[in-house]
Every structure is written in C-alpha cells, then in structure tokens.
Amino acid sequence: MVWFRRDLRVHDLPTLTAAAADADTAVGVFVLDDQVARPGPRTDFFLGCLAALNESLDGRLLILHGDPEVELPRLVDEIGAGSVHISADFSPYGRRRDEAVETALGTTPLVRTGSPYAVAPGRVVKGDGTPYRVFSPYQRAWHEHGWRLPASSDATTLAWLDPTGMQGRQDVPRPAGKPLAPAGETAALDRWHDFLTDDLADYGTNRDRPDLDRTSRLSAYLKTGCLHPRTLLHDMRSRTDDGAAKFRSELCWREFYADVLHHRPDSAYIEFNEKFRRMPHDTGSDAQEAFRAWCEGRTGYPIVDAGMRQLAAEGWMHNRVRMIVASFLTKDLHLPWQWGARHFMDFLIDGDLASNQHGWQWVAGCGTDASPYFRVFNPTTQGEKFDPTGDYVRRWIPELRSVPGKKVHKPTGDRPGSYPEPIVDHAAERLDALDRYASIKE
C-alpha cells in the first residue's frame, strides 16, 4: 500500500521505488480526514492536486474518508497488504497521526522513505548535537550535508490495483470553489520550467518587486508535494548565477523553519523567544476593529491594503508584501502575531505551518532571527522602494488608480474619497513599538 499525503506526484518519489522493492503491485490510497477536508482556498487547491494525481494513476487512487488510524488497518486486512509505504511527515500533527497509525497497524510495517524536504528535519545539527537556532550556520551545514539525486519513479513504477469495489471507496471530492492556481504535478513542472528559463537569472534582484511578479509561485506546489525541492536543486546544479544562489537560499529557509518546528513544535503557537511572551499587546474593541481593517485591506496604507486584497483574491501574497503587512500588524497595530498567522493560514493556498508561523515570528522579532524586535518596516517607504511605479498598488486598489506613479504610496491630497485615511500614525506607533520592546528586554 502507498499512502499519499504531502506527496501528490509520481516523479521523484522515493516512496514508490521503496514500495516496488517490496511488491510489484500496490494500492494507492488517500485518506480524507477532518484536518484535510476543512473548507477554504487551500483545500480547493489541494483537492485539485488530488484529482490530478488520480488522473496520473489512471483513476486508480483509492479515496477513503475518516480516521487514518481506523481506515488503514481495515484496508490492510481487506487487501492483505504486506506493508504500508509513506513519505515521512515531520509536522506536529503528521508525526502524531503517523505514530498512531503505526501502532494500529500492529505487525504490518509502516515504511518511511524520504520526506517533503531535500534534507529532512533533524538531520543537520551542530557539533554538540543540538539544533541550529540561527539561519546562516544552518545554511552552511545544509549545503555541506547535500542531498540525494532525484528518485527514478513515475506512474509505471508500480502496477496499481483497481480500487473499484473496495470498502469505503469514494470519488475524488470536487473543490467547493475553483482552485486559485493551476493544480497538480504537470502544472507544477510547467511552472518550474517556465521560471527556470525566464526568471531565475534575475531572481536575486526582481524577487522583491511585487509589481513585476517575478517570483517562482512554486510554494503551493511544494506544500502539496506536487514538486520536490530536490528536483529543483538538481535542475539548478550547474547554475552559479546570483539568481540561482538566492533561490537555493530561499529553499533552505523553508527547510530551516521545518527543522525549527521539528525540534520545537510548541513554536507553532507560542513565541520561540520566551521573553516575548511578556510583550504587551492592544486589546478590546478598538484592537478588534483595527484587526478587521487590516484583514479587509482598509488601513489607509496602500501597500498594506494591496497585499491584503491580493491575499483575499488569489490565496497568495508576494513575499516582500507579506513582511510589510506582518510588520504593520505587529509593530503599528500592536496585535499578536498569532492573529495574523491564523488569518494567513485561513487564506493562503501555500499555507505551510512551519514557514508561516516562523515567518511571522521573524517579522515580529520573537523567533530565531538574530536581529530582534527593533526592525520596524515603514509601509510608505517600503512601497516606494519595492513598488516604485505604483503598479502593484493600483492593480489591487481600484480607488487609487487615478493617482499616478509612486505618488500612490502617499495619496494625501490626492486621496479619493472612498479610500480611507491612515488608521494610525506610523511614526508614533514605531516609537510605541520600541518602548514595548524596551519593557521586556530585561
């Protein structure tokens, strides 16, 4: 049995080659549990990827609904499977689920081969055996460790059993809405090859420009396992240009955060840096209204509002803008990073617990970053620097489309009546944020 989870592909999937070493024939199964089936844009995208996987297996993917701890042992008994093969899952929920399933399977082995990462969490440690807490030394160790070659697998690596008539079989669920990006392995590979050819060389300089839209847009495919980072690293093996170096670094950030979460699963919900658990935050009805304004893209700061409206419309936000809006929530509105992280996870189709939570903590200053809380992004100057023509703002804020050039980032005097005034004064709130940081330093 091959149990698919965060690996919705057939190429470069070592789980398949490991299963083929056990038997020529297998049943491919996906179990829809309540964690997977929650409605939202990420689920819609995931179900689109699941349907694409089913097509690549000629419609022979067995879909079950329920608790994997119950459904998988029952299926093993029904078909007489000798082993269950998976890619290892290092998320807190995934580890608990897999341990429970392994116990329920009894004498039938749960075989873990590979993971969603080029270097599995926990594999790279310091000389004394403790985990890295800072990115730069982790990145050096990650490069020195290296990664395996892509696995030689495809849909024909195993003969797939026809699941017709198997107990509990369901059709692949249809998304509640249209997926907000092309779904599946083929779409992922097409996007990667386009980026590799057209945009990778200039990635180092263009990645911070939301108006140019030159990022890879691969994060959702990496989240669902339609692509493996090892494939990307292998395809870039001969590239020494700055763009490829920066893209490797971004892949490493993803693996660093997965490693941090692996060692500190509590950091998904509370501050990695314990002293920040004493940080004073705003509360009450005014705080709730400020949060609603931030969520709805009506703070009066154009680059912030453009980002939040892009998130609502596309289920995705440019990474530079993610940092700007996160800084605004935590440093200008003085609200807990957990509020913003939860909102992102509700909307992002690439919502990955490790990357999302620790990205938020990086901005809030309470995570692993060596530069602490006093980094406060000025939303106006950030907009002027990274959206110099104002095209990104005008794309997402129709109220400001009549404001020319970079003046769109300071629409005072040209502010159309329907676009709100700033809900806070950034200069004053920056000083307030620094005072709050000073209060917890000792």
When pLDDT is averaged across residues 97-123 and rounded to a whole number, the result is 97
Distance CA 419, CA 409 (A): 12
Q: Is residue 233 within 8 Å of 325, Cβ to Cβ?
A: no
Summarised one tens digit per residue, pLDDT across range 234-264 is: 999 999 999 999 999 999 999 999 999 999 9
Asked if residue 219 belongs to a known ligand binding site, the reply is: yes
Q: What percent of the chain has pLDDT over 90?
A: 89
pLDDT of 90 strictly over 70: yes
Nearest to 183 by CA among 233, 229, 217: 217
Q: What is the value of pTM for the model shown?
A: 0.95
Asked if residue 373 belongs to a known ligand binding site, the reply is: no
Asked if residue 442 belongs to a known ligand binding site, the reply is: no
Distance CA 319, CA 322 (A): 5
Nearest to 419 by CA among 435, 434, 433, 402: 402
Asked if residue 274 belongs to a known ligand binding site, the reply is: no
Asked if residue 57 belongs to a known ligand binding site, the reply is: no
pLDDT of 175 strictly over 90: no
Asked if residue 132 belongs to a known ligand binding site, the reply is: no
Asked if residue 437 belongs to a known ligand binding site, the reply is: no
When pLDDT is averaged across residues 414-419 and rounded to a whole number, the result is 73
Summarised one tens digit per residue, pLDDT across range 306-325 is: 999 999 999 999 999 999 99
pLDDT of 373 strictly over 90: no
Asked if residue 285 belongs to a known ligand binding site, the reply is: no
Q: If pLDDT is split at 50, 70 and 90, which confidence band does 38 have? A: confident
pLDDT of 36 strictly over 80: no
Asked if residue 399 belongs to a known ligand binding site, the reply is: no
Read off the amino acid at residue 384.
E
Structural domains of the chain in order of their starting residue, each with its CATH number: 2-115 (3.40.50.620), 117-152+186-263 (1.25.40.80), 274-441 (1.10.579.10)
Distance CA 415, CA 266 (A): 44
When pLDDT is averaged across residues 190-198 and rounded to a whole number, the result is 97
Distance CA 85, CA 16 (A): 8
Asked if residue 351 belongs to a known ligand binding site, the reply is: yes
Distance CA 366, CA 260 (A): 13
Q: List the structure tokens of 362.
A: 């990086």
Q: If pLDDT is split at 50, 70 and 90, which confidence band does 370 have? A: low
pLDDT score at 176: 77
Helix (H, G, I), strand (E, B) or coil at 31: strand
Asked if residue 350 belongs to a known ligand binding site, the reply is: yes
